[in-house]
A and B are shown apart, each in its own frame.
Chain A
Amino acid sequence: MDPSTEIVRLVVNGQSREVGVPTHFTLLEALRYVLGLTGTKQGCDKGDCGACTVIVDGEPVLACLTPVWEAEGREVTTVEGLAGPEGIHALQDCFDLHGAAQCGFCTPGILCSAAALLAGNPSPTREEIREAIAGNLCRCTGYAKIYDAVEAAALRTGGPQG
């Protein structure tokens, strides 16, 4: 093994993984290029765009700026981990039904930001939804259909009429 490579223990989407990574890898590089989880997108790669958003211990963070070591011993959820045994996450279904994804590049990050929001706040206001995905840039949709989709998912999973 390369001397600059070390073993890191990650828990990704509920699975414990031990992988060898160069010591200066980011969590994003470990996910995409070591674990093959390419759902998490590499956009600006410097913290501006939100495409690499993943959920770490319940909070949305940017994988491109997270040294892989900061994820050790913590629960990492990527877009691949949103679906459960009963099928895709309500957010994913509602994004489909509402046409909330166009080119789709920002979608995995927005799904992660929105999933973390709904986990802590099952019936958010539209303003809370706007704030929760403020760090995820979408250049296609104009956001309106994304807000609609998150609202619909909230109603289905935990909202007042859900």
Chain B
Amino acid sequence: MLRLPPFRYHRPATLAEAVGLLEEHGGDVMPVAGGTDLMPNMKHRLFTPGHLVALKGMPELKGVEVVGADSDPGMGYLRVGAAETLTSVASHGEVRRLYPALADAAGHVAGPQLRNMGTIGGNLCLDTRCTYYNQTEFWRKALGYCLKKDGTVCHVTGVGKKCVAAHSADTPPVLMTLDATAILVSAAGEREIPVRDFFVADGITNTRRAPGEIVAEIRIPMASASRRTAYEKLRARKSIDFPLLTVAVAAEVDDTGVVRSLGGVVTALGSRPRELSGWREIAVGHPLDEALVDALAERAHAQCHPLENLPADPEWRRAMVPVFVKRALRRIRSA
């Protein structure tokens, strides 16, 4: 039995009320949407806020609709309310039509019940994960805690003052390849930040979301809908698990099969999703044939170095990088 620590549960009806509660209880409060990440973490005493602000009851955080594309279908964006569940994102007609890899990624998070609860905003803000962190208080205490929570030593690297807990969310890599942005709202106002710039390489706190901010919506440019996208995920059990490696790719390929643009993001390795470098240089202007797929997979392999931060052999995870990159690229070719 894992009990939650005591807290007060606030259910604001509006976003303004919610950010007000975050400000009022600053330092002792956290926002919660589906709770599928925060509740287990609270049961493990990784977070013990005295107040929780529930985000699921606010109409401002709901809805999926095309905005600003009236005059030109190539303009505007798809607005996805941050409190939309992963089930809703995975099954929504517009998401599936415009950004099938996003529907794929959302549909591959955890299992059905967790997708009915968890939200796209929560997936963006998912806490980093590590073998030495996602454990009970009893377990962590026995090991003398770790750098990310209550301790001074990182058991993964054994040295240094840098937490290397793994970014483990499925949808952000796809959102990055689609040039999506996130709208963050606080008592001070709102700001828009590219998902690409949302993450930092710090396993303790790996996003630029301030404690008083709420992710209110995700915007995906309509212009990105012309890209061919694919998402591949490695995990121990296909039905429920967090990723051990994910690959998201997006490309524009012309009528003759020649690559016009190409981007790839891998995650579940380090503390933030990694944009694969050196791809454009070898791909743009060339046909996406098997030789190019091999070359791109080799470039990806050379720059990915998994650590012992997740419960799976790092050498195996590294060996799977080119395998999964090739799968994703072949799907793009046949799309």
Contacts and interface: CB of A to CB of B under 8 A. Distances in A.
B160 interface: no
A50 B43 contact: no
A108 to B, nearest CB: 13
B9 interface: yes
Nearest to A59: B116
A115 B184 CA distance: 38
Contact of A50 (B11, B44, B52, B111): B111
A113 interface: yes
B113 A135 contact: yes
A22 B6 CA distance: 8
Contacts of B274: none
Interface in B23-77: 32, 35-36, 39-40, 43-44, 52, 54, 56
A88 B229 CA distance: 47
Nearest to A58: B116
Interface in A29-67: 42, 45-48, 50, 53, 59-62, 64-67
Nearest to A25: B4
A46 B2 contact: yes
A42 B43 CA distance: 14
Contact of A61 (B6, B40, B110, B113): B113
Chain A interface residue count: which class?
20 to 34
Nearest to B7: A24
A134 B240 contact: yes
Q: Which of B11, B32, B240 has the most CB of A within 10 A?
A: B240
B211 interface: no
A69 B11 contact: yes
B1 A45 contact: yes
B6 A65 contact: no
Interface in A61-97: 61-62, 64-67, 69-70
B240 A24 contact: no
B11 A135 contact: no
A25 to B, nearest CB: 8
A61 B114 CA distance: 7
B199 to A, nearest CB: 24
A4 interface: yes
B116 A61 contact: yes
A131 interface: yes
Contacts of B56: 70
Given A61-B116, A69-B54, A45 B2 contact: yes
5 contacts: A24-B3, A26-B4, A61-B117, A113-B113, A131-B112
Interface of B: 1-9, 11, 32, 35-36, 39-40, 43-44, 52, 54, 56, 87, 110-114, 116-117, 239-240
Listed from nearest, the 7 A-B pairs whose CB atoms lie closest are A135-B111, A134-B239, A46-B40, A65-B39, A45-B2, A59-B116, A24-B4
